[in-house]
């Protein structure tokens, strides 16, 4: 086998080892997808319902703390929220 053949053999063995290692890592991590595109989660991790409405916070007129408009009464006796 000539010099070019040896270099070609080393490149083929290196490529097989590299792709085999990548395949093995995907199997160990539980990512059994096919192809090169990364798997994306179906829903974001930070919310359970992506259509959930987020309220703006408003300052309380009594104590100045920022609370959601839909929040109920707090433990203070002079809380203006009903």
Owning domain of residue 26? 1-40
What Å distances lie between residue 55 and 8, 24, 43, 68, CA to CA?
Answer: 63, 45, 20, 6
Q: Is the pTM of this model over 0.85?
A: no
Residues 3 and 36 in one domain: yes
Reported as half-sphere exposure (CB side, CA atoms, 13 A), residue 70 has a value of 4
Phi and psi torsions of 72, nearest 5° = -85, -165
Residues 36 and 56 in one domain: no
Residue of 43, 80, 44 whose CA lies nearest to 64: 80
pLDDT digits (tens, 9 = 90+) for 35-68: 655 666 565 566 666 566 677 888 888 888 888 8
Question: How many of the other CB atoms lie within 10 Å of CB of 31?
Answer: 10
Residues 6+ apart with CB under 8 A from 62: 76, 78, 79, 80
Residues 33 and 53 in one domain: no
């Amino acid at each position: 086998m000539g010099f070019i053949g040896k270099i070609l053999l080393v490149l083929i063995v290196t490529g097989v080892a590299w792709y085999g290692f990548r395949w093995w890592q995907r199997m160990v991590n539980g990512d059994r997808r096919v192809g090169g595109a990364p798997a994306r989660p179906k829903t974001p991790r930070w919310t359970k319902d992506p259509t959930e409405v987020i309220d703006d916070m408003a300052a309380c007129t009594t104590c100045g703390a920022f609370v959601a408009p839909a929040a109920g009464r707090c433990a203070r006796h002079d809380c203006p929220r009903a």
